[in-house]
């Protein structure tokens, strides 16, 4: 559940988010966490761009157009 822990840390600790952008591997290693290349790439691109699209209220609406039932 490393991804969940990293996401929570990004959302609640600005210093951690900043360090992650500068040196992702060392920042994760310091916490004993490991993410895949894809996960790191996505998180970094989100941190560098507009994070509004990942706000919970923003996420709920458009996704619902695609329920599998």
Nearest-angstrom CA–CA distance, 6 and 15: 13
The length of the chain is 69
Nearest-angstrom CA–CA distance, 57 and 45: 20
Residue selected from 12, 15, 48, 50 as contacting another protein according to rule CB under 8 A: 12
67 binds another protein (CB under 8 A): yes
2 binds another protein (CB under 8 A): no
19 binds another protein (CB under 8 A): no
User: Tokens representing 3?
Assistant: 């991804």
User: Tokens representing 59?
Assistant: 């996420």
Name the residues that contact another protein, by CB under 8 A.
1, 3-5, 7-8, 10-12, 36, 38-39, 42-43, 46, 51, 53-69
């Amino acid at each position: 559940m490393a991804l969940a822990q990293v996401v929570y840390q990004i959302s609640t600790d600005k210093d951690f988010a900043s360090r992650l952008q500068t040196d992702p591997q060392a920042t994760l290693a310091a916490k004993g966490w490991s993410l895949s290349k894809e996960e790191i790439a996505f998180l970094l691109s989100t941190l560098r761009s507009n994070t509004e699209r990942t706000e919970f209220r923003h996420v709920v609406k458009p996704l619902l157009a695609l329920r599998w039932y």
